[in-house]
Amino acid sequence: MPAHAPRAAVFDVDGTLVDSTYLHAVTWWEAFRQAGHRVPMAAIHRSVGMGADHLLDHLLGADRDKPEEDEALSAAHTALYAQYWTRLAPLNGAADLLRACAQRGWQVVLASSASSPELDAMRRTLDAEDALTTVTSADDVRSSKPAPDLVQQALERSGAAPQDAVFIGDTVWDMRAGGRAGVPCLGVLTGGFCRAELLDAGAREVYDDPAELLADIDGTPLTALT
């Protein structure tokens, strides 16, 4: 019998562990441009972190005339973004943070709004498979972030209760998803949202990047389990 209930460290990936936020902004912008939509890149950046299902509603309107375009827009974004897969880079301290959580007794779960192929590309970039317990992607749930489904799926796969988990993300959409799932959240600034925005959205603490969170790990809820 384990000495304690399962504890899960649940991580967003895009913008939290992998430096991909602005690549998504550029490739969504180009996908919209090709389809005849003029969407400001600043607005797209503020929507990165949502899954495509919510991002398109958010940027084009849920009552738009041609929702049948959604599949083509998503496919265009995927094709454009895939050109960067072999050039993705992990954020400073990302893999070490995952390993530190695993070494402290946490089940480490990736919960990404990306599709499975995109998540696989980011996993290759991180090169930290030895630290992972399980992963979940947008393909595994009915609704992506900011809905709580991905976080709830991560809890189910890890066997952890919401109060025995921590969710780490870089956007207000992550903080809202974690909050709706009843999971305490920590934020990082690597996705371009400011500290105040992440705190207002529900983050308990906010760090510059994974390396700073790692440096302070034993002063956070991610401390070693006993």
Worst-scoring range by mean pLDDT, 12-26, 78-92, 136-150? 136-150
Is 179 part of a structural domain of the chain? yes
Is 146 part of a structural domain of the chain? yes
Same domain, 148 and 176: yes
Same domain, 71 and 118: no
Same domain, 55 and 118: no
Is 64 part of a structural domain of the chain? yes
How deeply is 4 buried, as exposed, middle or buried, from its count of CB atoms within 10 A (0-12, 13-18, 19+)? exposed
Torsion of CA 199, 205, 209, 214, to 10 degrees: -170
Give me the domain span that covers residue 134: 8-20+89-219
Whole-number mean pLDDT of the chain?
94
Same domain, 193 and 102: yes
pLDDT (mean) for 10-23: 97
Which of 83, 101, 120 lies at the terminal end of a domain, its last residue?
83
pLDDT (mean) for 200-226: 94
Which of 83, 116, 134 lies at the terminal end of a domain, its last residue?
83
Is 178 part of a structural domain of the chain? yes
How deeply is 163 buried, as exposed, middle or buried, from its count of CB atoms within 10 A (0-12, 13-18, 19+)? exposed
pLDDT tens digits along 28-61:
999 999 999 999 999 999 999 988 888 999 999 8
Same domain, 45 and 112: no
Q: Total structural domains in the chain?
A: 2
Same domain, 102 and 171: yes
- Helix ranges (H only) for 61-170 are 70-82, 94-103, 116-126, 149-158
Dist. CA 47–CA 144, nearest whole Å: 13
Same domain, 62 and 153: no
Give percent helix, percent strand, percent coil of the chain, each to the nearest 5. 50, 15, 35
pLDDT at 226 over 90: no
Which of 30, 61, 83 lies at the terminal end of a domain, its last residue?
83
Is 225 part of a structural domain of the chain? no
Q: What is the pTM of this model?
A: 0.94
What percent of the chain shows pLDDT beyond 90?
A: 83
Same domain, 71 and 101: no
Pairing of strands 107-111, 134-136: parallel
Same domain, 108 and 210: yes
Is 67 part of a structural domain of the chain? yes
CB burial string 113-134: b at 16+ within 10 A, e below:
bbbeebbebbbebbebeebbbb
Same domain, 68 and 148: no
Is 3 part of a structural domain of the chain? no
Same domain, 147 and 207: yes
Other beta carbons within 10 angstroms of residue 69's beta carbon come to 16
Is 2 part of a structural domain of the chain? no
Radius of gyration of the chain (CA): 17
Same domain, 122 and 214: yes
pLDDT tens digits along 109-147:
999 988 899 999 999 999 999 999 999 998 898 888 899
